[in-house]
Amino acid sequence: MKKWMTRVGVGACMLTLCLGAAACGKKEKKTEEQGTPPAVTTEATPESTPEATPEPTATPAPAATATPAPEPTRVPIQIEQNQIPNVYKQKLSEEFRGTVEQIEYKSKAYHTEEKEETIKRANVYLPANYDESKQYDVVFLMHGIGGNENFNEWKIQEESSQIRKILDNLIYYGAIKPVIVVTPNGKTGGGDNSYYTFGQELRNELIPYMDSHYATYAEYDENGYDLTEAREHRAMAGFSMGGMQTINIGLCECLDIIAYTGAFAAAPTSNNSDVIAQKLATFSEEYPVGYFYSICGTEDSTAYWSAKAASAGLANKTDRLEDGVNFTWHEMSGGHSGGYVGALGFYNFLQLAFPEPPLESLFLKDAAVESGFTLGTVMNYSQLSNTYYLPMVTSEFQSITAGNEMKAYSMLDQVGSQNNPEGMPSMNYSQADAIVSFAQENGIGVRGHVLVWDAYMSDWFFREGYKSDGAYVDQETLKARLKYYIDEVVTHFETEFPGVVYCWDVVNEAVGDGGDYKGDDPRHVRTYRNSDENMFQTIIGPDYVEYSFACARETVEKLQAANPDVSIELFYNDYSTFYDEKRDAIIELVKSINSYEKNADGTYKKLCDGIGMQSYIGGYGQQAGCMNTQDITRIEKAVRMFHDLGVKVHVTEMAVRNYDKNKMEQHAEFYGKLFEAYEKLNEEGDLIQNISIWGICDDPMMSKSDYSYKQNGPYCGLFNRGCKRKDAYYEALKALRD
């Protein structure tokens, strides 16, 4: 993980108003004679089809204020005192229901001297979408007296089982992690005395069977393995006699292999609190009690007094338990009922043992890192004074890209260049430095964007004396200026802010869209953009892209020679990258870049480290074409093809366009599918290293004449105008977590 990938706390933006966060409209340029960098705020020319080339408007609409919208309504997750919420008792549709299968395993009659071999059975609940490539916590759920693996309070093998519905819903609503639940026969033989020897079967046969046949956290080895290593991922719970077993066996005998125990109306033969405290003292402190939860009804004439004797005041007799921290004694009104007290106990216990942190407390950026990529967004100079936008950036992202402040036309100083005695260009870094300084102070990385881009480039840069009416310079002069500019800029940011700018988009949008490049050029390097001539191509020649990368690589190597810790990657960045013709031309261009120069040993020098895939997804300025799943398929194909070139892939300037407020639910679902695709690509082998989202906040007040209206759409964001997370955010988060 890079040194700038630090974790920061939740910012105040979750409670406050974000002013103009999505407003990236194009502002009017100042005249070139003033020598002041133009202030524009978003990239040009994304499209709905490869051929489309939009015209930017001149002035953005003013940002309007709005009242923050509430967070999405979610089912409350909490420990219940008396009743399970009805929503957790409903039968879910089949795709969200777990399945049950029966297992057979060899065991022994441990309650006899002979300990003859016997065949035991158990039912195993597997959560919906059980995946053998993942790891699951395991709960051993014990029955009351007279029961067995099928005849018991739980009836988990039946689809109508109340406990099974509770399990399905707890997982579905994110209250608990997906778990495996085992309901075995709790007797090692025929008599009731065999309940007390079940711990040996649990340790020697049942747990090893589960670890060897299912996707648990244990590192199973048939020649022997350490059961204690996965203890934090095992729980034991039970009703009545099963509650006794949980206390006497799970808590007092098997604490080294089971961390969580739940006793529901524990039977009269349960250890009392004095004995439990003594038993706990025999275990090393390396085996802490994860949680012990005990519940019983006050009208339970069978178990109340024994359960109370075991649990009431227990925390006062041992330093291994603390009330409300890892121990709860729960009295409630009720009799000896597995369907009531037992079910409520099970519902509460699972949330104490294996809670899934609620989505509201998680960060998409952390889930992204676990999936192999960092998360970024856009930052403009004006937003450095926006007290609403900044906390969202510092809380939610590991990377930022300056909207325009690090582009050449923003930093080039015409007057300074005219007065430079060396004849080289001069730069004004003030706004760019402010953005990078903010990133450095907050442990955020910066994507350098962009060194060479023909669009909106200051025309005087190409002219004699840097004069607006001067003659155009020759090839040698322009190459010298460009080389100097690249070296000065890259060196400046690495010297002033070491390690913060982790990559540079060296050249941006050099591949044309049709009719604006020479027909015999497989790279499709543009000669024109709209009606404007590409002066880099005209003066330097068709290899200006390759030359720019060679200059940038030379600078990086110079910096690395002075400091081996320097790590700056060089990218080619473009839009429409997932459409066939543009994608194939980019591949040819990157091949050309990486075969442009040779090393001393005759091998080709890798000048380009990666491809930046601008990802404005959907219809340009209109709803038609938005949320098209074929776009996801195209993106997947392009990522794989770029990766096959041996370069890295970053998703840059991403906006999932949406122009219709009534399609917010569809937009959220599409976002989830998109991030699911990113996750699956990285499961194939870390194909994507960064995703930077530019369409980050909704702006319903945006004028249709605003450049950003067409660019992103007013309802494109992961966040609403109040900087609060939308359903789209949670769908993306769920996609990565699942």
Element (H, E) at 656: strand 648-656
Q: Per-residue b/e over 543-576, b at no fewer than 16 CB within 10 Å?
A: ebbbbbbbbbbbbbeebeeeeeeeebbbbbbbbb
Considering only CA atoms, which of 177, 223, 230 is closest in space to residue 207? 230
Question: How much of the chain, in percent, has pLDDT values that exceed 70?
Answer: 89
Cα–Cα distance, 571 to 504 (Å, whole number): 6
Q: How confident is the model at residue 189 (pLDDT cuts 50, 70, 90)?
A: confident
- Reading phi first (left if > 0) and then psi (alpha if -120 to 50, else beta), residue 192 is in alpha
The predicted-structure confidence for 207-222, as pLDDT tens digits, reads as follows 999 999 999 999 999 9
Give pLDDT, residue 23.
34
Residue 343 identity (one-letter amino acid): A
Question: How much of the chain, in percent, has pLDDT values that exceed 90?
Answer: 82
Give pLDDT, residue 737.
84
Q: How confident is the model at residue 359 (pLDDT cuts 50, 70, 90)?
A: confident
3-state secondary structure 527-553: CEECCEECHHHHHHCCCHHHHHHHHHH
- DSSP assignment of 674-732: HHHHHHHHHHTT----EEEESS-B--TT--TTSHHHHHT-TT--SB-TTS-B-HHHHHH
Rounded to an integer, the average pLDDT of 351-365 is: 88
Residue 122, pLDDT above cutoff 90:
yes
Residue 451: CB partners within 8 Å, gap ≥ 6? 408, 485, 486, 489, 490, 504, 505, 506, 507, 548, 552
Rounded to an integer, the average pLDDT of 592-606 is: 97
Cα–Cα distance, 411 to 409 (Å, whole number): 6
Rounded to an integer, the average pLDDT of 99-106 is: 97
- DSSP assignment of 297-340: ETT-TTTHHHHHHHHTTGGGT-TT--BTTTEEEEEES--S-III
Give pLDDT, residue 580.
97
Query: DSSP label at 63?
Result: P
Residue 70, pLDDT above cutoff 60:
no
The backbone torsions φ and ψ at residue 526, rounded to the nearest 5 degrees and listed phi first, read -70, 140
Give pLDDT, residue 515.
84
Residue 298, pLDDT above cutoff 90:
yes
Considering only CA atoms, which of 71, 32, 74, 40 is closest in space to residue 57? 40
Give pLDDT, residue 78.
54
Considering only CA atoms, which of 581, 569, 580, 644 is closest in space to residue 612? 569
- DSSP assignment of 130-193: --TTS-BEEEEEE--TT--SSSSS--TTSTT-HHHHHHHHHHHTTSB--EEEEEE---SSSSGG
Cα–Cα distance, 718 to 305 (Å, whole number): 54
Set out the domains of the chain in order of their start, with CATH numbers.
12-69+380-737 (3.20.20.80), 86-356 (3.40.50.1820)
CB contact at 8 A, 153 and 339: yes
Give pLDDT, residue 655.
97
Before 450, cis peptide (omega within 30)? yes
Residue 185 identity (one-letter amino acid): N
Q: Per-residue b/e over 167-191, b at no fewer than 16 CB within 10 Å?
A: bbbbbbbbbbbbbbbbbbbbbbbee
Per-residue tokens: 648 = 């890295």
CB contact at 8 A, 19 and 5: no
- Cα 631 from chain centre: 21
Give pLDDT, residue 36.
31
Cα–Cα distance, 588 to 68 (Å, whole number): 47
Cα–Cα distance, 248 to 285 (Å, whole number): 19
Q: How confident is the model at residue 62 (pLDDT cuts 50, 70, 90)?
A: very low
Residue 11, pLDDT above cutoff 70:
no
Residue 51, pLDDT above cutoff 50:
no
The predicted-structure confidence for 537-595, as pLDDT tens digits, reads as follows 999 999 999 999 999 999 999 999 999 999 999 999 999 999 999 999 999 999 999 99
Identify the three-state secondary structure at position 564.
Answer: coil
Residue 66, pLDDT above cutoff 50:
no
Report pTM.
0.71
Half-sphere exposure of 575 (CA within 13 A, CB side): 24
Give pLDDT, residue 79.
64
DSSP-assigned beta bridge partners for residue 612? 573, 650
Cα–Cα distance, 335 to 300 (Å, whole number): 4
The predicted-structure confidence for 654-684, as pLDDT tens digits, reads as follows 999 999 999 999 999 999 999 999 999 999 9
| Angle of CA points 618, 624, 625, to nearest 5° | 35
Q: How far apart are the first and last CA of the chain?
A: 23
Cα–Cα distance, 277 to 251 (Å, whole number): 10
The predicted-structure confidence for 236-279, as pLDDT tens digits, reads as follows 999 999 999 999 999 999 999 999 999 999 999 999 999 999 99
Give pLDDT, residue 71.
37
Cα–Cα distance, 565 to 502 (Å, whole number): 12
Rounded to an integer, the average pLDDT of 57-77 is: 34
Q: How many helices (H) and strands (E) does the chain have?
A: 20, 20
3-state secondary structure 72-84: CCCCCCCCCCCCC
The per-residue pLDDT of the chain, averaged, comes to 89
Rounded to an integer, the average pLDDT of 370-389 is: 92
Residue 194 identity (one-letter amino acid): S
Give pLDDT, residue 87.
83
Considering only CA atoms, which of 176, 184, 178 is closest in space to residue 148? 184
The backbone torsions φ and ψ at residue 279, rounded to the nearest 5 degrees and listed phi first, read -65, -45
Least trusted range by pLDDT, from 77-91, 398-412, 629-643:
77-91
CB contact at 8 A, 254 and 204: no
- Cα 20 from chain centre: 25
Least trusted range by pLDDT, from 18-32, 283-297, 653-667, 715-729:
18-32
- Cα 427 from chain centre: 37
Higher pLDDT, 205 or 26: 205
